[in-house]
Structure 1
Amino acid sequence: MLFLLVSFFSFALLLSKSLPLHPLPPWASDMRLLSILFCQELLSSLLQLFKRCRPFGGRTIISVSPSTMPPRKRCAQKVWSMEEPAEISVLDLPELALECILGRLTPAGLSNMAAVCSSLRERCKSDHLWEKHMKEKWGRVIGHAAHRDWKLYLASKRESTAGVARIDRRNNWIGLLFSCALPIPWLNSRVESGSKTTSPLPDESIMSWYQSLESGKLWFPAQVYNREHGHVGFMLSCYDAEVCYDCRSDTFYARYPPHGRRTSVIEEGVQWDRLRAPPVDTPAHSLHISDCLNDLHPGDYVEIQWRRNKEFPYGWWYGVIGHLEPCDGNEHFCRCHLSDTVILEFKQYTPGSRWRHTSINRKDHREKGNEADGFYGGIRKLQSKDEISKWRQLWPTDVLE
Structure 2
Amino acid sequence: MLFILVTCFSFILFFRYSLPIKPLPSWACEMRLLSFYFWKDLSILFPSAKFLNKTLSINFNSSMFSAKATKKNNTLSSASTTRNTESMMTTGTGQDKVEEEMSVLDLPNLALECILERLEPDGLCKMACVSTYLKDMCLSDHLWEGHMKKRWGRIVGSAAYREWQLHIASRKESSYFLAGEKEGGLLMGYLSKLWPVMLVRSSFSNHDGHVDSKKMKISSPQPPVDSIMSCYRALETGKFWFPAQVFNREDGHVGFMLSCYDADLSYDSHNDTFQARYPPHGRRAAAIETGVTWDRLRAPPVDTSPHDLHISDCLNDLRPRDHIEIQWRRNKQFPYGWWYGVVGHLEACNGNGSYCHCHESDTVVLEFNQYAPGSRWRHTMINRRDHREEGNEADGFYGGIRKLYSKDEISMWQQFWPAEILE
* Equivalence map 1:250-261=2 (5 Å): 250-261=272-283
Please, which runs of 5 or more residues in structure 2 have no aligned partner?
Answer: 1-15, 17-47, 179-184, 200-204
> SS in structure 1 opposite 2:291?
strand
Deviation, 1:162, is 2.1
Q: Does the CA contact (< 8 Å) of 1:158 and 1:201 recur in 2?
A: no
Deviation, 1:30, is 1.9
Q: Does the CA contact (< 8 Å) of 1:350 and 1:400 recur in 2?
A: yes
Q: Is 2:147 the partner of 1:133?
A: yes
Q: Is 2:193 the partner of 1:173?
A: yes
Q: Is 2:162 the partner of 1:148?
A: yes
Q: Partners of 2:73 and 2:298 in 1: how far apart?
A: 63
Q: Partners of 2:121 and 2:100 in 1: how far apart?
A: 31
Deviation, 1:143, is 0.6
Deviation, 1:44, is 4.1
Q: CA separation of 1:92/1:359 partners in 2, compared to 1, >3 Å: closer, same or farther?
A: same
More displaced stretch, 151-160 vs 220-229: 151-160
User: Residue in 2 aligned with 1:32?
Assistant: 55
Deviation, 1:38, is 4.0
Q: Is 2:124 the partner of 1:110?
A: yes
User: Residue in 2 aligned with 1:215?
Assistant: 237
> SS in structure 2 opposite 1:333?
coil
User: Residue in 2 aligned with 1:397?
Assistant: 419
* Equivalence map 1:1-400=2 (5 Å): 26-54=49-77, 61=80, 63=82, 83-164=97-178, 165-176=185-196, 189=209, 203-400=225-422
Q: Partners of 1:148 and 1:351 in 2: how far apart?
A: 43
Please, which runs of 5 or more residues in structure 1 have no aligned partner?
Answer: 1-12, 14-24, 180-184
Alignment-mate amino acid for residue 133 of structure 1: H
Deviation, 1:169, is 2.4
Deviations 1:112-170 (A, max 9, x none): 11122211111001111111111111010011111111111111111222233312323
Alignment-mate amino acid for residue 273 of structure 1: D
Q: Partners of 1:356 and 1:394 in 2: how far apart?
A: 17
Q: Does the CA contact (< 8 Å) of 1:228 and 1:267 recur in 2?
A: yes
Q: How many residues align?
A: 358
Q: Partners of 1:331 and 1:240 in 2: how far apart?
A: 37
Q: Does the CA contact (< 8 Å) of 1:222 and 1:241 recur in 2?
A: yes
RMSD in angstroms over aligned alpha carbons?
3.3
Q: Partners of 2:268 and 2:95 in 1: how far apart?
A: 52
Deviation, 1:203, is 2.1
More displaced stretch, 278-287 vs 168-177: 168-177
> SS in structure 2 opposite 1:153?
helix
Aligned-residue identity in percent: 56
Q: Partners of 1:47 and 1:215 in 2: how far apart?
A: 48
Q: Partners of 1:81 and 1:149 in 2: how far apart?
A: 64
Q: Partners of 1:214 and 1:48 in 2: how far apart?
A: 47
Alignment-mate amino acid for residue 31 of structure 1: K
Alignment-mate amino acid for residue 227 of structure 1: R
TM-score, structure 2 as length reference: 0.77
Q: Does the CA contact (< 8 Å) of 1:161 and 1:201 recur in 2?
A: no
> SS in structure 2 opposite 1:383?
coil
Q: Partners of 1:222 and 1:230 in 2: how far apart?
A: 17
Deviation, 1:366, is 0.2
Deviation, 1:97, is 2.1
> SS in structure 1 opposite 2:186?
helix
Q: CA separation of 1:145/1:44 partners in 2, compared to 1, >3 Å: closer, same or farther?
A: farther
Alignment-mate amino acid for residue 334 of structure 1: C
Deviations 1:30-65 (A, max 9, x none): 23223334444444444444444437xxxx53759x
Alignment-mate amino acid for residue 194 of structure 2: I
